[in-house]
Homo-oligomer: A and B are copies of this chain.
Amino acid sequence: MDFEQLQKQVDFIHEIDKVKYIQRKTRLFNSDRTENDAEHSWHLALMALVLSGHSNEAIDLFKVIKMLLIHDLVEIDAGDIFLYDTATSHTNTIAELAAARRIFGLLPQNQAEELILIWEEFEAGETAESKFARAMDRFEPLLQNRSNNGGTWKEFNVPYDKVIEKKGIIKKGSDFIWKYAKKLIDNSLEEGMLKR
Interface residues of A (CB under 8 A from B): 1, 3, 6, 9-10, 12-14, 16-17, 19-20, 28-29, 35-36, 38-39, 41-43, 45-47, 49-51, 54, 61-62, 65-66, 69-70, 107, 111, 140, 143, 147, 176-177, 179-180
* A54: chain B residues within 8 A (beta carbon): 6
Query: Is A180 touching B6 in the complex (CB atoms < 8 A)?
Result: yes
* A111-B65 contact given A6-B176, A13-B143, CB 8 Å threshold: no
* A47: chain B residues within 8 A (beta carbon): 13
| Partner of A29 from B6, B9, B17, B69 at Cβ < 8 Å | B17
Query: Is A42 touching B51 in the complex (CB atoms < 8 A)?
Result: no
Query: Is A50 touching B180 in the complex (CB atoms < 8 A)?
Result: no
CB-nearest residue of chain B relative to A3? Answer: B180
Centre residue among A46, A140, A176, A180 by max chain B CB count within 10 A = A46
Name 17 A/B residue pairs within 8 A (Cβ), A-sorted.
A1-B180, A6-B54, A10-B143, A10-B180, A13-B43, A13-B143, A16-B46, A19-B42, A36-B39, A38-B38, A39-B42, A42-B42, A42-B45, A45-B45, A45-B69, A46-B70, A65-B65
Query: Is A38 touching B29 in the complex (CB atoms < 8 A)?
Result: no
List the 5 closest pairs (A to B, CB-CB), nearest first: A42-B42, A17-B29, A62-B62, A38-B39, A38-B42
* A35: chain B residues within 8 A (beta carbon): 20
Query: Is B20 touching A39 in the complex (CB atoms < 8 A)?
Result: yes
